[in-house]
Copies of this chain bind each other. A is one copy, B any other.
């Protein structure tokens, strides 16, 4: 993977493996990606807190990775996941973080 384009980070798109709904986008550094591959649960790098965090480590709503895909220029990941626990991936309580429409002009 090419971590050079975003100061050591790559975006990781999280998609529900069953419904194909896009649930969230997180960022990973090399360590977060290694931890994700080692454990099979999505782990990100928090840009605001500067630490690794495994999604759901406190809520139990972890994201079990079913399949990982790399894009053509190796700077983005697509993770197909099975959401565990309540399945509410967003911290607002929504299933997906993408729940608001942006009007086109």
Q: Does A51 contact B (CB under 8 A)?
A: no
Residue of chain B at shortest CB distance from A92: B72
B105 touches A91 (CB 8 A): no
Q: Does A94 contact B (CB under 8 A)?
A: yes
Query: Number of copies of this chain in the oligomer?
Result: 2
Q: Does A68 contact B (CB under 8 A)?
A: yes
Q: How far is the CB of A76 from chain B (nearest CB, A)?
A: 5
Q: Note all chain B residues with C-beta closer than 8 A to A48.
A: 5
A70 to B92, CA, bound (A): 14
A105 touches B38 (CB 8 A): yes
A67 to B67, CA, bound (A): 26
A70: contacting residue among B76, B91, B98, B105, CB under 8 A: B98
